[in-house]
Structure 1
Amino acid sequence: MKSNQQTLHYKEVQRPNQIWVWAIILGIAILMWIGFFRQVVMGIPFGSNPGSDMQITIFWLLFGIAFPIVMLGWLRLITEVRDDGVYVRFVPFHLTTRVFLFKNMTSYESLEYRPLRRFGGWGIRWNFSGEKAYSISGKQGVLIQVNGEKILIGSREPERLVEVIDQVSRERNK
């Protein structure tokens, strides 16, 4: 594959680090474990209008086991700068890496933004201005204009990312 033969100039891997994200995910998982143990194991109905044991078991498998593993174990945003562009992959939601080629970029800049106000939060987001964001935490990133689209990539070190993009794109244009 061509992208594997290219030089990797920069790589940043971000994972969720906000305590409130962990609290929500673990809170949901704990509730599912309590419901499963209480109803399926002990035989005491869970809630005022309990579901069947099969429903409780399915919810437990999905939200008590799979959801926390996916969200806390696998969830990450990988940003790479290679010879031909910027590569972004939001694991586990992207099956393939999104590539933003230097030849299609018209501008890029590091910035500080308000994720809740601008995009309604973190993740893979769109706003009414037509911008798209890939972010996992924080309020810093790099805004890239590519093929007429504005793409915001969240970063813990946006100045370094812009510096590497500058360096690699200058070397390409020599």
Structure 2
Amino acid sequence: MKLNQEIHYKEVQRPNQVWIWAIVIGIAILMWIGFFRQVVMGIPFGSQPGSDMEVIMLWIIFGIAFPIVMLGWLRLITEVRDDGVYVRFVPFHLTPRVFFYKNITRYESLNYRPLRRFGGWGIRWNFSGEKTYSISGKHGVLLEVNGERVLIGSRAPERLVEVMDRVSRNDNK
């Protein structure tokens, strides 16, 4: 891996499905209501209320941290550089996962069904041994790397393949 490589293509994706936002915000609102009722007003929250400390911990995790992570930090960054394709799923990857051109035997743009093929979006594996990095949509680029199949979700898979073609040809010269 060379230092100071040129980034030939960069795509940053964030969750854009309304239903994800609704679920995250709904959970956060429920936690805020529970915190306010039980801790601030002293009215037990729920039919089997937990202790105030349990409510505070759930409020911190699901009322504050979870929405910040899901709606503020969560993103999929895909970069095409001189030596390969770099994928980073923030905040789960501290450093990018690198797929070097020398290890990629084949790649193609494709449309797929995330729920059927992988059970949804995110970092996932299926029973066929495929792995995916996806955040939304049904388009991506399928790489065969060292005998493994890795699907990278993309909003512009044709462009990603086009840049990979150009850069990998230059890398092999």
Q: TM-score, normalised by structure 1?
A: 0.98
For residues 72 and 165 of structure 2, the distance between their equivalents in structure 1, rounded to whole angstroms, comes to: 33
Partner of 2:60: 61
Partner of 1:13: 12
Tell me the secondary structure at the aligned position of residue 5 of structure 1.
coil
Deviation per residue, 1:124-173 (Å, 9 max, x gap): 00000000000000000000001111000000000000000000011112
Q: Which amino acid aligns with 2:32?
A: W
Partner of 1:24: 23
User: 2:119 matched to 1:108?
Assistant: no
Gap runs ≥5 in structure 1: none
Deviation at residue 112 of structure 1 after TM alignment:
0.2
User: 2:161 matched to 1:172?
Assistant: no
Deviation at residue 3 of structure 1 after TM alignment:
5.0
Q: Which amino acid aligns with 2:54?
A: Q
Partner of 1:72: 71
Deviation per residue, 1:87-112 (Å, 9 max, x gap): 00000001111000000000000000
- Segments of 4+ moved more than 2 angstroms: none
- The correspondence of residues 2-151 of structure 1 with structure 2, limited to 5 A, is 3-151=2-150
For residues 166 and 32 of structure 2, the distance between their equivalents in structure 1, rounded to whole angstroms, comes to: 51
Gap runs ≥5 in structure 2: none
For residues 84 and 95 of structure 1, the distance between their equivalents in structure 2, rounded to whole angstroms, comes to: 20
Deviation per residue, 1:57-100 (Å, 9 max, x gap): 00000000000000100000000000000000000001111000
Tell me the secondary structure at the aligned position of residue 162 of structure 1.
helix
RMSD: 0.8
Deviation at residue 18 of structure 1 after TM alignment:
0.1
Q: Which amino acid aligns with 1:108?
A: Y
Tell me the secondary structure at the aligned position of residue 69 of structure 2.
helix
Identical residues among aligned pairs (%): 80
For residues 4 and 141 of structure 1, the distance between their equivalents in structure 2, rounded to whole angstroms, comes to: 27
Partner of 1:161: 160
Deviation at residue 4 of structure 1 after TM alignment:
4.4
